A and B are shown apart, each in its own frame.
Chain A
Amino acid sequence: MNAVISLCHFCELHGPSVLFVTQAFHEPDGPETEREIEQPKFCYGNAVGRCRTISNNMPVSCEACQSLDPKQKFLCNDHEGRISYLSTQQATQPDVAALVRQACIRSLSCEVSPGKEGPVFFGDEVRGHVLSYTFFLKDAQARGFHRWFSITVLMRDKFFLLNSWPFLVDNIMTLVSALQAKAAKVYECEQAECPQRALRLIVAHGNSDSKHQQQRTSRSLAELTADKEVFSWLHLRFTWLLKAGADRLVEKIVEGLPTPELYNHQETEEGFTLVTTAKQVHSPVLELEASASHDASPISPVVHNIRHLHQILGPTPFLSLAYSLMVGRQLILRGKPAGLIASIANCLNVLVPRSCYQAVLNSDQYLDVSHCNILSVEPQVAVPQPSPDILRLDVLQPCDHAEQSDVNKYTYKITWGDKLPKKCPTVLLAMEKAIENTKLNDSAMHYHFIALKQEWLGIAKVVHRVQQWNGGQPQDVTALLQAMGAQEQDQGLLEFWGASATYKEH
């Protein structure tokens, strides 16, 4: 969970102060990381390294305002998720520390939860959204016999935070009651030994010398709960909150054609529609390769990326393939081995928005366009004859077995009942240019494609909306298209993208 959890308290001497902060650090992931074999590291996201950037110029504070030694830290690693959970007294980066500090002041000195103890939500886009849980711990030596504490969860994402509310509040509540139980035990022991109420009355009415002796600094949390390990315990609890909170809700964009297993109209307790975010429909390439490895080909051929595909197909066949995919024709990839076919299908992924990419791989029968727009089949499967709506790519294996590992030796044959229009859609031409531009490296091209797709998807959505509103007035749409920089040749593409992006609203 991308959040900062902190424990704050209201110090008798210093006012609201931050005691203990737990943060999650993610390993930054580029588009290439999946291929690398991941080694467990000492920490991820350079969690420990960043600590040094903050100078320790905190004013000398009392025992109650301190949790860990400035040099002491608690670290937990999630090697699978490549996340580090780090606990320190102050947040490690200065900007985060400032936000946490503001949240702390607000949670203890401004916001009021009905009934004093309990959760409250506040914040905004600039200062982050905060869920704060305020509570008392008994302290025989404190004014009023208790001290104010609060646990704050600071997050940038308001919706995530509010959706996690029941989970967070329940778990913080258990954590707080555990702390309170410990503190109550200590309090009762102390009161049995020496009742503070009576003592204070005597002191107040005695001479003024004894009054000054009474001024002690307030005690630390470890002392209040009689638990030396209270902060390491808190670290574990906070880490668990961050980890479990992240696992609880996974964000997925559910745009485009909803698959039946995605929507089965179940309702959660809170009244939301339950959406099962199953993994991507196509099975991973590696798995397919494993199954194909029985064919005794030691190194199975793979098309690495779209550039590679462009190179092996040649410019014109590639354009036909890309064009028919972009305007919503069905692609049938037929041939062997399955790994090669799947890799071709995967490469095409970058050309269209997610909602326009419905692939079924390694199917044993023909499925029509309502199920998928990319279909890969074995050579023996019967498929319809190529028509304007269906483009077929046959991959023929070379006769020589030795050459089977080289993708360039395969024969690629495109059959299509239509031909390329004179002018290809603007976005396709831009993409082709990028592919041919050798100065652009793969990852730059990847981001370039994302930007292009976003731009055109936006146009497609607007056009689609407008068309829905005023059905059958073409001149309006033409003017709109012009205004948005689209031309006649883009219309087919816009129609397809717009329709698939808004499909779920029907």
Chain B
Amino acid sequence: MLSYEQDDDDQYNAGYDVGSFPKDFGYGPFDQDGDGLPGPLVGEQKPRILLMGLRRSGKSSIQKVVFHKMSPNETLFLESTNKIIKDDISNSSFVQFQIWDFPGQIDFFDPTFDSDMIFGGCGALVFVIDAQDDYTDALNKLHLTVTKAFKVNQGIRFEVFIHKVDGLSDDYKMETQRDIHQRANDDLADSSCDQIHLSFHLTSIYDHSIFEAFSKVVQKLIPQLPTLENLLNILISNSAIEKAFLFDVVSKIYIATDSSPVDMQSYELCCDMIDVVIDVSCIYGLQDDTEAAAFDFQSSSLIKLNNGTILYLREVNKFLALVCILREDNFDRQGIIDYNFLCFREAIQQVFELRNKSQVYVALTTNHHSNVLSNQNTTVNSETQNTALNSAAVQR
């Protein structure tokens, strides 16, 4: 049996063939820069994140909480997933990917399903393990899934979410992680699949750990990550900022941060700040046009905490926000920070303009994807570093 995804995609690929459209008959100038090529081409490059795991391990809950703002308590009433739920989150968010939520009961390596189709275009495979339950079966399933998926597609990144850890004590958490890590890697070593690398995350939908874990998953799928990190590093060192996150506003996952270690509390603080900004502007910001987004180019916010810390949020583009944490003492020269931010924003825009261009280019010459992209990134790097240096000059 063919899985229906195959039929679907085949049809769509055929139906959306560029040749069948007039050149200017695209999908609107959403993220185009006047090249005249239709949008769906860009969509084809979308990486795919698969959510797999045993039944009742919390896959649908994760997907609902992270991308649909469902309250964690509501997930108790979710029905069991009976088919692959494909969630395309690219039109509401900066991160362009699809989440596929799998039913845990069905074995998708069965020959009746087209595993090439399922795992071929996949960027990351998230395997969810229920830490509150006996995870022996889950580990067996993990082993099977990982080895088989690896056979189909060697480019997949494997992420293991040790999920539902909210009910566990800290010691027990660490013990569980160590145990699962040990056993999963031993299994892989036994079947001589050492080249498969698994990353482990402790997650729970009742706190921000799931967002953090998902952020890390998504970051690995963003080819511009080193550039973004570099830009953030330059920004914070020149503006005396302690920590800066580049957030995807809708999902509250951060797509980049500077290279200093991430402290969970500061991440939560920033998440909450985004919530505050969005909520306030939803309630008070919109006059009669309810269709307009609550987050626009003027969005910015400043929150002073009583421990001498400041949270500062600025809009970067339609989907992205920069959230910084800095000492109150360092905020006396806000003008310079704002100027640096403008430079930063311009640099980011340049990076992603190139992305759009290169994707169009890639669509035409598919084979040289990585090469072209890295070349362009390096040129941007030097350019943006120059602008950042300019800003540094102003600071002195």
Contacts and interface: CB of A to CB of B under 8 A. Distances in A.
B167 interface: yes
Interface stretch (B73-81, B139-147, B269-277, B344-352): B73-81
Contact of B83 (A14, A110, A204): A110
Contacts of B79: 142-146
Interface string B96-134: 000000010110000010000000000000000000100
B112 A105 contact: yes
Nearest to A103: B1
A504 interface: no
A466 interface: no
Contacts of B173: none
A307 interface: no
A109 B103 contact: yes
Contacts, number: 61
A160 interface: no
B132 A12 contact: no
A16 B82 contact: yes
B77 A102 contact: no
Interface string A198-217: 00110010001001000000
Interface string B57-79: 00000000000000001001111
Nearest to A143: B80
A463 interface: no
A231 interface: no
A106 B1 contact: yes
Which of B3, B80, B132 gathers the greatest number of chain A CB atoms within 10 Å? B80
Contacts of B77: 143-145, 197, 200
Contacts of A444: none
Interface in A334-357: none
A110 B3 CA distance: 7
Contacts of A142: 79-80
Given A110-B3, A111-B4, A208-B167, A15 B76 contact: no
A213 to B, nearest CB: 13
Interface in B1-49: 1, 3-4
Contact of A204 (B1, B4, B73, B84): B73
B55 interface: yes
A459 interface: no
Contacts of B56: 143
A305 B80 CA distance: 66
Nearest to A15: B105
Nearest to B107: A15
A496 interface: no
A142 B81 CA distance: 12
A14 B3 CA distance: 19
A204 B76 contact: yes
B108 to A, nearest CB: 10
A109 B55 CA distance: 14
A208 B172 CA distance: 14
Contacts of A15: 103, 105-106
Contacts of A16: 82, 105-106
A211 B1 CA distance: 38
Contacts of B76: 200-201, 204
A26 interface: no
A12 B106 contact: no
A333 to B, nearest CB: 58
Contacts of B80: 10, 12, 142-144
Given A145-B77, A201-B73, 6 more contacts: A14-B105, A108-B83, A110-B4, A112-B83, A144-B78, A197-B77
16 contacts: A10-B82, A11-B105, A13-B55, A16-B82, A102-B1, A102-B112, A109-B83, A110-B3, A143-B80, A144-B79, A145-B79, A146-B79, A200-B77, A201-B73, A204-B73, A211-B132
Interface of B: 1, 3-4, 55-56, 73, 76-80, 82-84, 103, 105-106, 112, 132, 167
